[in-house]
Chains A and B, each alone.
Chain A
Amino acid sequence: MLSKSAKTVVRTRFPVRALATPAESNTTSHAPQLKYQPLSKAQKAFLERVVRVDQAGELGANYIYAGQYFVLANRYPHLKPVLKHMWEQEIHHHDTFNQLQTAKRVRPSIMTPFWKVGAFGIGLSTASLSKEAAMACTVAVETVIGGHYNEQLRVLMNQFSIGAVDAETGEVIANPPVSPEIASLKETVKQFRDEELEHLDTALEHDAEKAVPYMLLTEAIKATCKVAIWTAERI
């Protein structure tokens, strides 16, 4: 049981309002219910690409960690919890984008079987080289993914100020807030970007730069990731 003062602290630090979903927030406040304008074709195409490529990317990350864990978990027991933690976060990211893909009716990448085999193969082969090579692989992948999420965030921030009217009166709202759907997507991308960059730091802390040949490995994997992103965005 929490003491009264502890409860006060909890209330102050985690206001219930902040935890409410956008729909709940609207029902408890006097703010008008907004009816947003439709997305343009270009905006829809962009969002479709975001969901498809991020789903494929997180699938790839999930399978890379699976391959690394398969080789390294028993060989280096001290790395087991580190890899497990990163892998579980990637599984969560993957599940989140899977749900978004089905909820938003987005076509998944047609190359999904290839991404699975390729990603598991990259994880398996780099881990087989050495634990440092596995960490160098993580550095390369997370660098590209982090940059890619940043690029998406820039577009989501700049290009999704969409007009709205009051749902009851039809009055045009000046400078309406971003719709809860886009705001939620931005938060998801931002959170995942931060977690990917944490993985990058973790890999650097675990001697990624001691991998031989570090530059060749990371640059080759980065190039592969970029080609994969380009492809998954489109097909």
Chain B
Amino acid sequence: MLFLRTSLTRALLLHRTASPFSATSAPVLRAFYQSSDHPDRAFYAPHESQILDYALTNPVEGVPVLGFTEQPLINALRAHGKSQSMATSFQTANSAPMAIMLYHMKTQRAKMVAEHAKTLYELPHVNGLSQYDRLQYLLIARLRDNVAVAGQLQGGLAQLVQPANIAASLSELYDLADDLCHYSGDKSNDFAWYAKRGSVAKIYVLCELHQAGLPAGEFAQVEAFVKEQVSEMENMAYAYNSMEEWGYINMIGLVNLIRSQLTRS
């Protein structure tokens, strides 16, 4: 069984678990296995959250007026009595604008989970709805939270597609798609798991790009676009499942035909 003594097992044998607790303000870093008894640490330290939140939301010297640039973070650092040079030392991203955009993505995802996903099944009008209805509800809830930065969203999206930021963007997109699928009630155990997350990520990106091209007050158009996209996904899933069922029935029929012919001969 030597082959099973993987590098991971060796790493565990050398590992020491003595890390201290930290504040558990949302959002947390979602990676690997999600434990119920060992909750993850907060992704941002409290002081980082305060600074980034100021940079993202301050209506005078934050993103709403200055966009996703370095300046809101410098202003936030100055407002919190920190050195401006810290703008380059935020370890959560490669650059100050990306750090703010990533903070926006992570906090809005955490907000969607806390305010919508976890209470989704308690809402009377949501009970009895399908998985696709719940997905649509969560997508709309998440995109509605972009309205706060609607005028600057294009600049933020431009940060996400910078070559140096692609890995962090895709990781965050994966986490978002996984949250959307999980909280809409997905119980896939096979390749459908990948297909669903891929489709949901594609829908989210399309909807966000659509939203970025619209004025802030036109959210009704975004909602209509989300409904159209989710409906298309549902139709595709129905077509695929029908084809699979048809193929399976035909395969069983063929096997039974061969067996009956062999028995007769």
Contacts and interface: CB of A to CB of B under 8 A. Distances in A.
B94 to A, nearest CB: 21
Nearest to A184: B37
B220 interface: no
Interface in B145-204: 178, 182, 186-191, 193-194
Contact of A105 (B6, B12, B34, B189): B34
B193 A108 contact: yes
Interface in A31-52: 35-49, 51
A39 B35 contact: yes
A226 B3 contact: yes
A38 B19 contact: yes
B190 A38 contact: no
B190 A36 contact: no
Contacts of B21: 35, 37, 165
Main secondary structure of the interface of B (DSSP, over half): loop
A43 B17 contact: yes
Contacts of B129: none
A210 interface: no
A233 B6 contact: yes
Nearest to B1: A147
Given A36-B37, A108-B193, A151-B1, A47 B19 contact: no
Interface in A82-97: none
Interface string A99-121: 00110111110101100100000
Contacts of B264: none
Given A43-B15, A155-B12, A104 B35 contact: yes
Interface string A156-171: 0011011101000000
Q: Contact size class for B?
A: 35 or more
Contacts of B182: 102, 105
Contacts of A20: none
Contact of A162 (B1, B38, B40): B38
A110 B191 contact: yes
Given A155-B9, A181-B36, A182-B37, A40 B1 contact: no
Given A38-B40, A43-B12, A112 B191 contact: yes
A44 B35 contact: yes
Contacts of B11: 42
B13 interface: yes
A80 interface: no
Interface of B: 1, 3-6, 8-9, 11-13, 15, 17-19, 21, 30-41, 178, 182, 186-191, 193-194
Interface of A: 35-49, 51, 55, 98, 101-102, 104-108, 110, 112-113, 116, 147-148, 151, 155, 158-159, 161-163, 165, 179-182, 226, 229-230, 233
